[in-house]
């Protein structure tokens, strides 16, 4: 299936969950947040959140500065 990650198209196996996406992207888990279709998914739900064709994924880091 095709999903969008930070506005880039990513081809991913059907029924992948968020943890599998992050492993596939080789992105750091530390300090990361992830949203599916503009809704933040808590870390505790990354393993049980199944992604669907056409989902818009936003992946970003915590900013600590100020």
Partner 1 sequence: MLSDDELLRYSRHLLLEDVGKTGQEALKKANVLIIGMGGLGSPASLYLAAAGIGHLVLSDFDNIEVSNLQRQITYQSDDIGESKVEVTKRKLQQINPDIKVRSINKAMPEEQLTMELTMADLVLDCTDNMAARQMINKACVNAKVPLIVGAAIRLEGQLMFFDHSHADSSCYHCLFPDSEEQTLNCSNSGIIGPVVGTIGTLQALEAIKYFVGLPSGIKNKLKLFDGKSLDWQTFAINKDPKCTVCGQH
Candidate ranges 8-16, 17-25, 55-63; the one touching partner 1 (CB under 8 A): 55-63
Nearer to partner 1, 9 or 30 (CB): 30
Nearer to partner 1, 14 or 64 (CB): 64
What distance in Å separates the CA atoms of residue 66 and residue 56, rounded to the nearest whole number?
A: 29
Q: Please report, for residues 3, 21, 25, 32, 36, the alpha-carbon distance to residue 18 in angstroms, rounded to integers and kept in the order given.
A: 12, 5, 10, 12, 9
Per CB under 8 A, residues contacting partner 1 are 30-31, 33, 35, 38-40, 42-45, 58, 60-66
């Amino acid at each position: 299936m095709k999903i969008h990650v930070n506005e880039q198209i990513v081809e991913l196996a059907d029924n992948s969950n968020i943890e599998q996406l992050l492993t596939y992207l080789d992105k750091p888990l530390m300090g990361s947040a992830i949203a599916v279709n503009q809704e933040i998914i808590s870390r505790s739900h990354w393993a049980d959140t199944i992604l669907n064709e056409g989902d818009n994924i936003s992946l970003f880091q915590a900013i600590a500065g100020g």
